[in-house]
Amino acid sequence: MVFSHRMAALAAVVVIPLGIAATSYALTDSPESPKVPPKVELESGSPSATPTSTAPPTPTPTPSDEVVSRPPVSDDDDDDDGPGDDG
């Protein structure tokens, strides 16, 4: 049976992407699940949480409420140079 040019083109359009997809699927690796150690050990030489001085800790000062004025509003955009602009 002789293939016509249309049948050959149709076969190429179908077979080539399927071949690429099958090759890509065959070459992908499936990731292994992460392995968790059965026991976690911490260092025994960790520093203690006791303060070295006997003075009570001073609280950090909170920032004062400062009122800042708004900047002036101006239309300095040059991005809106469209067909309907007068510029």
Q: Are 65 and 59 in contact (CB under 8 A)?
A: no
- 51 contact partners, CB below 8 Å, separation of at least 6: 57
Going from the C-alpha of 83 to that of each of 43, 47, 75, 80, 86, the distances in angstroms are 70, 69, 18, 9, 8
Residues in the chain: 87
Instruction: Name the pTM for this structure.
Output: 0.32
pLDDT tens by residue, 32-70: 788 888 887 777 765 555 555 566 666 666 667 777 888
